[in-house]
Structure 1
Amino acid sequence: MPAASITIIFSPYHVGLRNHRVGDGPNRIRALGLIPQLEALGVTVHIDEIPPVDDFEGEIGRSFEVLRRTSLAVSKARDGNSFPFILSGNCMASVGAACGLGIKDLNFIYFDAHDDMDTPSTNENGYFDAMGLSMLAGKSWHWHTEQIPGYAPMNYKDRFLYVGLRDVNETQRKTVAEAGADVIWGDAGKAVDFPGELEKRLDKRDMSPSLVHLDLDVLDKSVGMVNGFESEGGLQEEDVMRCMSLLPKKATPVSFTMCSFNPNLGDGDKIAGIGIRAAVAFVEALIATSVVSVQQ
């Protein structure tokens, strides 16, 4: 049965701080018209805002409380026959989304320049967000992840596809291989047909149902400043639009996360516009494939 609406789970947080760095990204995307543009497609849009987590202890406590609330919000949306769209600062929001979906054999389609599989023992840059997928796999932060409603360790082997992954060191590359993830690698030295490769991979195996994750730093560095972690060899805007339009026709999405965008680095309106157009292309495809219904 098609979802009767879309619920935007609005989470403007970075390290549990509201509107801080990438936490301000959801605000810019919302301010530039995401909601009315989705409504113009004929879909009903609900907003579920994650409330402040200031009372929790430090970056760790606040961040895990955001994940806990994200899980509950996703479950609530699903229970109400609404498609969960997580508009987040931090990319680890997809951990909460996966827990809230409660789907044992969930697939993952990740548009991201980074692997997010670091553990506290392997991470080199101190970026907590880089550990989300190791948490979800049961490789790190064990006690805290077990407090997230619906949490169960996920196995990525043959169920994970990265698109545009490139900004990784040798340890991270090895971790991705050991996890059994498939990769459409970004390449600064040659052009990559990301939509064509995505279609080939999705034709090879069934990746339904799928959690779809769009980290905006999957965009090539030439497109603009996204979050301070830009790199060459990524997707151009047209690649993103074609991938978003294609994906629901080849796999059945059950959630969508857009994240990791700092609007205060000089290209805020440009990147927010790309994010909005990507979301519109994705929702148009959800409607065309009867994942989401329009108002009668």
Structure 2
Amino acid sequence: MTRMRIISMPYHDGRRDVDRGCGPEHLLHACSDVFGELPGSVVTVGPIDTGQPEAARVFHLADLLGREVRAARDEGLFPLILAGDCNSCVGTVAGCGGNGLGVVWLDAHPDFDTSERSHTGSLDAMGLAVITGHDWAVLRSGVTGFTEIAEDHVVHIGGRDFEPGQRDDFRSSNIRILEGNTFTGPELTAALDDLRARTNRAYLHIDLDCLDPSEGIANQYSADGGLSLARLLEIVNAVFDRFEVAAAAVTAYHPGSDIDNRMAGTASKVFATVMRRADEQ
């Protein structure tokens, strides 16, 4: 039986409202058939002072999350993070130890903006940039144990919804990019095998909007042309086949967008696969 700790982390402003912050708690309830037999504990990150500036809240939550991830690993438990947004990656990387860590990132969006090149000002669109050493240097240095990830240790899968300039910024990096759902099986194999040649440890990051809306609506940023559930599960299995997976995160589920509850059902199948494979490693 899986030795796992589920770590629930709200949206980065500390809210638990229907659109964002309560997503992790909603999934815990909606997927109780999967989590019900879990012997490991469930912890919730926070609370934090919501009177802090937004960026301060992001990095404060990251520090708290990193401590929980580290504690789980120290106890021999697999950390499964349910997060309101993708900025959780900063804390997850800190808790796993970034030295030599690989990242397999599934997302409809690059999440590679910085404060200098952002058109929207969205901090949620900066997570992957932050963990690869771009921007917010002082605040990220305050996250206990954080070490940046080399760009060539990242494989990004499923990106297809780009703001002006984002695709060019992304492609000028050293990140291995497999866009949308148009890449071939051999291209996926080559990307993961190349990462495996660099490291045997990886963090698996799944923003549920990597999935096509035909599988359910994860959030208000869902976009056509995404992965099928079957293909996502193939990718999850391929990652576990090649790497010691240090932690996995499922992020950005907004219950208010999942009006027919299909994405919650889809997510339960993702959780079941991650749990099974974590138990096997």
TM-score (norm 1): 0.86
Matches within 5 A, 1:86-125: 86-125=81-120
Q: Secondary structure at the match of 1:226?
A: coil
Deviations 1:58-101 (A, max 9, x none): 32222221111011111111111111111100111011100111
**Which stretch shows the higher mean deviation, 10-19 or 120-129?**
10-19
In the alignment, which residue of structure 2 is the partner of 1:239?
231
Q: Is the 8 A contact 1:186 1:233 kept in 2?
A: yes
Matches within 5 A, 1:1-296: 5-19=3-17, 21-34=19-32, 36-38=33-35, 40=37, 44-157=39-152, 159-169=153-163, 171-186=165-180, 192-193=183-184, 197-206=187-196, 207-267=199-259, 269-288=261-280, 291=281
Deviations 1:113-163 (A, max 9, x none): 111111111111222111112222232112111110012232212x11011
Measured at CA, do residues 123 and 144 of structure 1 come closer, stay the same or move farther in structure 2, by a change above 3 Å? same
Q: Is the 8 A contact 2:97 2:145 kept in 1?
A: yes
Unaligned runs of 5+ in 1: 292-296
Q: Is the 8 A contact 2:93 2:147 kept in 1?
A: no
> CA offset at residue 55 of structure 1?
5.0
> CA offset at residue 173 of structure 1?
2.0
Equivalent-residue separation in structure 1 for 2:141 and 2:149 (angstroms): 12
**Which stretch shows the higher mean deviation, 130-139 or 16-25?**
16-25
Unaligned runs of 5+ in 2: none
Measured at CA, do residues 205 and 96 of structure 1 come closer, stay the same or move farther in structure 2, by a change above 3 Å? closer
Q: Which residue identity does 2:120 align to in structure 1?
A: N
Deviations 1:275-294 (A, max 9, x none): 12101112212223xx2xxx
Aligned-CA RMSD value:
2.2
Equivalent-residue separation in structure 2 for 1:91 and 1:142 (angstroms): 18
Q: Which residue identity does 1:173 align to in structure 2?
A: R
Q: Is the 8 A contact 1:8 1:48 kept in 2?
A: yes
> CA offset at residue 227 of structure 1?
1.1
> CA offset at residue 6 of structure 1?
0.7
> CA offset at residue 201 of structure 1?
2.7
Q: Which residue identity does 2:55 align to in structure 1?
A: I
Number of residue pairs matched? 279
Q: Secondary structure at the match of 1:86?
A: strand
Q: Secondary structure at the match of 2:231?
A: helix
Equivalent-residue separation in structure 2 for 1:87 and 1:268 (angstroms): 20
What fraction of aligned residue pairs are identical, expressed as a percent?
25
> CA offset at residue 45 of structure 1?
2.0
Q: Is the 8 A contact 1:22 1:261 kept in 2?
A: yes
Measured at CA, do residues 38 and 249 of structure 1 come closer, stay the same or move farther in structure 2, by a change above 3 Å? farther
Deviations 1:167-198 (A, max 9, x none): 124622232233311111115xxx555x6643
> CA offset at residue 39 of structure 1?
5.2
Q: Secondary structure at the match of 2:82?
A: strand
In the alignment, which residue of structure 2 is the partner of 1:294?
none
Deviations 1:225-278 (A, max 9, x none): 221111121111222222223321122211001001111124362111111210
